[in-house]
Amino acid sequence: MTIIALTGDSIIQRRLLSTTDREVKPLFDIIRSCDAAFTNLEVLPNDFHGDPALDSGGSHFGAPSWVLDELVEAGFDMFATSTNHSLDYSISGLIYALDQLNRRQLCHAGCGRDLEDARQVSYFTTPSGTIGMVACASTFARGQQASRRTRVMQGRPGLSPLRVDSVYEILHEQLEQIKKICLDLGIEQLRRLDIDLGFGFEVSADIFPFNGMNFRASTQTKHLQTPNKQDLRDILRWVEEARRMSDIVLVSIHAHEMGETEEDPAEFITEFAYAAIDSGADVVVGHGPHVLRGLEIYKQKPIFYSLGNFIGQNELVQRLPADSYDQFRVQDNLTPGALYQKRTDDDRIGFPAYPRYWQTVLPICEFEGHDLVSLTIHPVSLGLGEARHRRGRPRLASAETASTILERFSALSLPFGTNLTMDGATYKLVIPRLHQRGDHMHSEVQ
């Protein structure tokens, strides 16, 4: 039996006091009691070294490197590093952070010194079994993805990318309007010139490209997103390797892309998760949008489409570069805390204005070999309503808050055929039996 704890984004800037603070200790005791624990490292543990990038993941999430020691003390063993913040301090900052992880001999995946390094499996061995982890991100700025080596040239350090092939289907008359605008403004002529000069390439006959987007005429409007085939092949190659070389395979994806609402995953995420499981993954862990998304059981394997925020100290970043001040349109004389206070309009907008960003769950998965035999879901609160310097540390939710979180998670999971009911005595969701229905599994709670 191997027991694994799973969490979402850890945006950590301060001490957790996970062994001494009575409010948070019970949660971390659960994590420490597991054979292994996973979190998404949403900050860059670079001691603010490196070169601040113009395009950050929304805010420059540098952090002291000792946050890694805090997470280890809290019970974490496995760290996904491929996020939209991985290159907040450019390549130099990423290399410094990777050195900090390697110096501590931590299990991490998702970033590397070239593409193959970023793609590779990272293994964590426990007395009960070995876990192989593969991590990637679909949300990132151009140039943040690692590049491959050639026979004569080194690759570029960066993250393991899952690019998304995107097509916007629009009505015929709408497409004709876009074409006319492009011709009237000379945009289409410039695109044709790029092709004539060898800097661009033809697209398929039914596609009209505009400003980095691909449009196609249809009878209805829809945004179609599919995983890039080459990236998918590259990632699945390492998932298959992890299957050969470990007892349990964990696949992590950092994806902000959404369906109809923020709580719905984009269709390509489901396609990717299915392909990962078909190739040998035992559990797929999503994160990125900072909100909870539902749970699906596919071929007796859990897919967590997003576990939301686990540690939410994003307002406690100690240092910010000039680009952050320019981005948020504030003067350089503001301290970082004052900048974030202004950005959120004193908690009236942004993350502090919405409880869903401060609520999550802690899944505890029990495996026998590759088989999931039990799944327990603990409701977790990040303490919204507390002072800025205290909120963001997770703790087991209690009473009404716990019920609210579990009921919401159950409702988000229902569209995926996952039926969860709450145990009012313990405020946990337990799935002891899984019943097969074709390729999917229907989960039933006792």
Instruction: Give me the mean pLDDT over the 11-23 stretch.
Output: 97
Better-scored residue on pLDDT, 212 or 100: 100
Q: Helix 267-278 vs helix 229-245: angle between axes, to the nearest 10 degrees?
A: 40
- Is the pLDDT at 124 greater than 60? The verdict is yes
CA–CA distance, 383 with 285 (Å, rounded to integer): 24
Question: pLDDT band at residue 446, thresholds of 50, 70 and 90?
Answer: very low
Angle at 173 between CA 223 and CA 228, to 5 degrees: 25
Nearest alpha carbon to residue 336 among 145, 82, 109, 60 = 60
CB atoms within 10 A of CB 164: 18
- Is the pLDDT at 436 greater than 90? The verdict is no
Helix (H) or strand (E) holding 234: helix 229-245
Instruction: Give me the mean pLDDT over the 10-20 stretch.
Output: 97
41 in Cβ contact with 341 (< 8 Å): no
Percent above pLDDT 90 for the chain: 88
Helix (H) or strand (E) holding 3: strand 2-11
CA–CA distance, 208 with 216 (Å, rounded to integer): 6
| Cα distances (angstroms) measured from residue 213 to each of 132, 202, 216, 298, 430 | 36, 14, 10, 32, 44
Q: Locate the domains of the chain by residue range.
A: 1-32+47-62+74-163+228-309+364-390+419-446, 165-225
Chain centre to alpha carbon of residue 90:
19
pTM (two decimals) = 0.93
Going by C-beta distance under 8 Å and a sequence separation of 6 or more, which residues neighbour residue 88? 44, 52, 53, 56, 57, 60, 61, 62
Question: pLDDT band at residue 374, thresholds of 50, 70 and 90?
Answer: confident
Nearest alpha carbon to residue 225 among 182, 256, 186, 180 = 256
| Cα distances (angstroms) measured from residue 314 to each of 87, 136, 382 | 17, 22, 12
Better-scored residue on pLDDT, 56 or 430: 56
CA–CA distance, 28 with 24 (Å, rounded to integer): 7
Better-scored residue on pLDDT, 161 or 1: 161
Instruction: Give me the mean pLDDT over the 133-153 stretch.
Output: 96
Using CB atoms within 10 Å of the CB of residue 5, give its burial: 0 to 12 exposed, 13 to 18 middle, 19+ buried: buried
CA–CA distance, 235 with 134 (Å, rounded to integer): 8
CA–CA distance, 12 with 401 (Å, rounded to integer): 23
Give residue 158's pLDDT.
98
Strands 309-312 and 2-11: parallel
SS3 content of the chain, % helix, strand, coil (to 5): 30, 30, 40
Fold of the CATH domain 1-32+47-62+74-163+228-309+364-390+419-446 = Purple Acid Phosphatase; chain A, domain 2 (3.60.21)
- Is the pLDDT at 164 greater than 80? The verdict is yes
Instruction: Give me the mean pLDDT over the 195-211 stretch.
Output: 92
The region of weakest confidence among 170-174, 227-231, 302-306, 416-420 is 416-420
- 349-373: b (≥16 Cβ within 10 Å) or e: eebbeeebbbbbbbbbbbbeebebe
14 in Cβ contact with 108 (< 8 Å): no
Instruction: Give me the mean pLDDT over the 177-196 stretch.
Output: 94
CB atoms within 10 A of CB 338: 12
Q: Which residue pairs, CB below 8 angstroms and at least 24 apart, start in 209-213?
A: 210/178, 210/182, 211/187, 213/166, 213/168
Please report the sign of the dihedral spanned by the C-alpha atoms of residue 327, residue 12, residue 83, residue 113. positive
